[in-house]
Amino acid sequence: MNDTSTLPIGVFDSGLGGLTVLKALRERFTHEHFIYLGDTARIPYGSKSPRTIQRYLEQNIKFLESCGVKAVVIACNSASTQAAQVLAAANAAGTKIVPLYNVISPSARRASEITKNGLVGVIATRATVQSRAYVSEVEKLNPKLKVYQQACPLLVPLVEEGWDEDPITNLIVYRYLTPLVAANVDTLILGCTHFPILRNAIARVTGPHVELVESSISIADQIQSDFESAKLAPNHSGLSSELRVYTTDVSDNFQALAQRIMGTQALKQLELADI
């Protein structure tokens, strides 16, 4: 078998929100190289049909494969709902595909492990809510658990506008979360790449007794466990981590938003991906 250990890990999102996942992966796996692809020309995915999301996902995986990645992390929840279909289509066509990581399964597992009262909430885009992917994953793990979903489509543009600490955002978060708080969920899955940026606003509404589950942490746990079991080859080369960030559209706004999400992790100029 070829040694893939020194190859980069591909991380894909519909836009820049997935940098929350990339940031967590880089903090955890300091020797790994990463290639990030944000499909900024076609965002949002959360309002698109499953068929369209599948097509975009296939194209984005192909792009990352052409960059020579050893695995693709689908940081986008809306796209993760279509990962199984994309894999099935590749298998049916006899096409070999790199290992795919979706963010739904690890967060569903984490939520099912930590809930004490069996009531789990999910906030996500419309596409993710309509797919019921979190509901079926959680119920598969434990049919006794009850999952309450809430689509929060307005939160993505608020984050992109940089309004994460704005009173308007607090009000909208309150409006979206009230039914879940009333349902008494004790665990809330942040089922969208952008929502960790609203963690404070969300926690102010849910209060300290509701555990927030973030995809970035759950997927990092999953990859760590796959490194430990040698399902995925870790990079032991000792060279410092390299990062390339591609987007399908480039603007000054994106560069500023990307740097804001990455915080202290310095970002080079975004590169244009021709997909």
* Alpha-carbon gap, residue 178 to 180, rounded angstroms: 5
Q: Specify whether the CB–CB gap between 37 and 11 falls below 8 A.
A: yes
Question: Which residues are CB-neighbours of 43 under 8 A, at least 6 positions away?
Answer: 14, 15
User: Which residues ranging from 251 to 270 are in contact with ligand DGL (CB under 6 A)?
Assistant: none
Residue 78 binding ligand DGL, by CB under 6 A = yes
- Tokens 């202290």 map to which residue? 264
Asked if the peptide bond before residue 179 counts as cis, ω within 30 degrees of 0, the response is no
Least separation in angstroms between residue 48's CB and ligand DGL is: 8
**Interface with ligand DGL (CB under 6 A), residue from 7, 9, 11, 13:** 13
- The contact pattern for ligand DGL, residues 92-111, with x = CB under 6 A and - = no contact, is --------------------
Task: Provide the b/e sequence for 128-150 (b: ≥16 CB within 10 Å).
Answer: bbbbebbbebbbeeeeebbbbbb
Find the part of the chain contacting ligand DGL (CB under 6 A) among 70-78, 82-90, 137-145, 167-175: 70-78
Least separation in angstroms between residue 136's CB and ligand DGL is: 17
How many residues sit in the footprint of ligand DGL (CB under 6 A)?
17
Residue 77 binding ligand DGL, by CB under 6 A = yes
Kindly list the residues in this chain that would bind ligand DGL in the complex (CB under 6 A).
13-15, 17, 43-46, 76-78, 125, 128, 156, 192-194
